[in-house]
Amino acid sequence: MARKTERVVIVGGAIVGSMVAYFLRETGFSGGIIVVERDPTYQRSSTALSAAAIRTQFGTPVNIHMSLFGAEFFRTIKDRFGSDADIGFIERGYLILGGPESVSARRAGVEMQRREGADVVALSPDEAHARFPWLNVEDIGIATTAGRSEGWFDAWSLMSLVRSAARARGVEYVRGNAESLEFSGGRLTGVRLSNGTVLEADWIVNAAGANSAALVRSIGIDLPVSPRKRTVFSIKAPVDRTDFPMLFDTSGAWIRPEGEGFICGIALAEEDDPDATGDFEPSHDLLENALWPALAHRVPALEQLRVERAWAGHYEVNALDHNGIIGSHDKIPNLVFATGFSGHGVMHSPATGRGVAELITNGQFQTIDLSPLGFERIRTGVPLHETVVF
């Protein structure tokens, strides 16, 4: 097939762009693959600043399938990349709490998740307390967790492995800022870098994360993806970390073990979550005003937490529906999106890489039908709402 020998330029070389490059070779693509990355240190990439957790507890079936694929990828990382490959995958269920008003909706959610292949179970408050004795369950109505395919890992190690494997298969990483896209005769012909170089391309993949809307603005596409700041606090606390899950509280607070302590954060209300272009300053006041009280209420031993450090990174939020945008532009087929993941891009990067590679190499999604996440819904404004958003 001619398309297997064409030339792909991927803009953005962090986890999503690197997964696309890696899987292109896995699917038999033998043409040129160039990854353009403006910052090879990745210090402000969402990938490097992520909490790197994976869950199957979603409200949208396609997201569940993508997570199941991701968990299998992480579980079998040594088979794929060799016995030294280690991403520190801790396979442990999230514990997502719900108030009494949410019980029937949450139980229906669990039914759907199980039908789609996830190993999710609902716990009553008493059952949750029996399993997690440190948990204050006085004001909750339900807790849900999973026996498999959830947990956390090291995103940096994952990216390094995938990037090295891509390079070893002849993928070229080029340092440069993709400034605009070259367009002629109804299709894209190349990527223009800030230094004036034009990289000619048969396919262009937009994996530019929180900056992906800026990339396509040059050809008049209005992508509803923008950077939204998320602050992560690294803390120590006298709490037993054995079996401590990735805990999501009804308040929006979350916490999970990391190293010798924990990392934690809190979801923001829409009105407190503006476009954060260029802003990487941690919101320190969140801890005192919202996060600490919420955590201490839920896990009383966290009253004694001590902050070690804090950092802020960007979610690439798709304001239409908080779901990824994956696949070709409906009018410009050689422009392929892999962006807008809104806080779940690392866990979904293997499935995204695989799907985009299948689309380019074989003309269709094969392993998972990712078409519900396609671009057409962006043009028509018909959302595919993800309801389980943090």
Ligand X SMILES: Cc1cc2nc3c(=O)[nH]c(=O)nc-3n(C[C@H](O)[C@H](O)[C@H](O)COP(=O)(O)OP(=O)(O)OC[C@H]3O[C@@H](n4cnc5c(N)ncnc54)[C@H](O)[C@@H]3O)c2cc1C
Least Å distance between CB 333 and ligand X?
21
Both tokens of 137, joined, read 């369950």
Residue 49 half-sphere exposure toward CB, CA atoms < 13 A: 27
Largest CA distance in the chain: 65
**11 binds ligand X per the rule CB under 6 A:** yes
- Which amino acid, residue 296? A
E strands, the chain, are: 7-11, 32-37, 53-54, 90-91, 94-98, 120-123, 142-146, 151-152, 172-175, 178-184, 187-193, 198-200, 203-206, 225-236, 246-248, 253-258, 261-266, 306-318, 325-328, 335-339
Contact call for residue 36 and ligand X (CB under 6 A): yes
| Phi, psi of 352, deg, nearest 5 | -65, -45
**344 contacts ligand X (rule: CB under 6 A):** yes
| Among the listed residues 343, 353, 355, 374, the single contact to ligand X using CB under 6 A | 343
Other residues' Cβ atoms within 10 Å of the Cβ of residue 102: 15
Query: What is the smallest separation between the CB atom of 246 and ligand X, expressed in angstroms?
Result: 8
Reading the block at residue 295, the tokens are 């955590």
Binding segment toward ligand X, per CB under 6 A, in 89-97, 292-300, 310-318, 368-376: 310-318
Residue (225 or 299) nearer to ligand X, CB: 225
Nearer to ligand X, 185 or 196 (CB): 196
Least distance between ligand X and beta carbon 126 (Å): 29
Site string for ligand X, 160-199 (x = CB under 6 A): -----------------xx---------------------
CB of 137 or CB of 346, closer to ligand X = 346
Helix (H, G, I), strand (E, B) or coil at 103: helix
- Out of 59, 125, 151, 209, name the contact with ligand X by CB under 6 A: 209
By CB under 6 A, name the one of 208, 239, 310, 325 that touches ligand X: 208
Give the per-residue contact string, 122-161, with ligand X (x = CB under 6 A; - = no).
Answer: ----------------------------------------
Q: What's the CA dihedral at 99, 101, 102, 103 to 10 degrees?
A: 90
| Whole-number Cα distances in Å, 184 to 29, 202, 378 | 25, 12, 23
Of the candidate spans 74-82, 86-94, 288-296, 308-316, the one that interacts with ligand X by CB under 6 A turns out to be 308-316
Measured from the CB atom, the residue of 125 and 257 that comes closer to ligand X is: 257
Which residue in 9, 29, 33, 38 binds ligand X (CB under 6 A)? Answer: 38
Under rule CB under 6 A, residue 45 binds ligand X: yes
Whether the CB-CB separation of 207 and 163 falls below 8 Å is answered with no
Question: Please, what is the minimum distance in Å from the beta carbon of residue 200 to ligand X?
Answer: 16
Question: Is residue 263 within the footprint of ligand X (CB under 6 A)?
Answer: no
Return the number of the residue (29 or 390) whose C-beta is nearest ligand X: 390
Residue 12 interacts with ligand X (CB under 6 A)?
yes
Sheet holding 246-248, edge to edge: 120-123, 142-146, 94-98, 246-248, 253-258, 261-266, 225-236, 306-318
The nearest distance, CB 107 to ligand X, in angstroms, is 25
Distances 166 to 15, 23, 67, 161, 171 between C-alpha atoms, Å: 11, 8, 22, 9, 5
**What residues line the site for ligand X (CB under 6 A)?**
11-17, 36-39, 42, 45-47, 49-53, 177-178, 207-211, 215, 230, 232, 313-316, 339, 341, 343-347
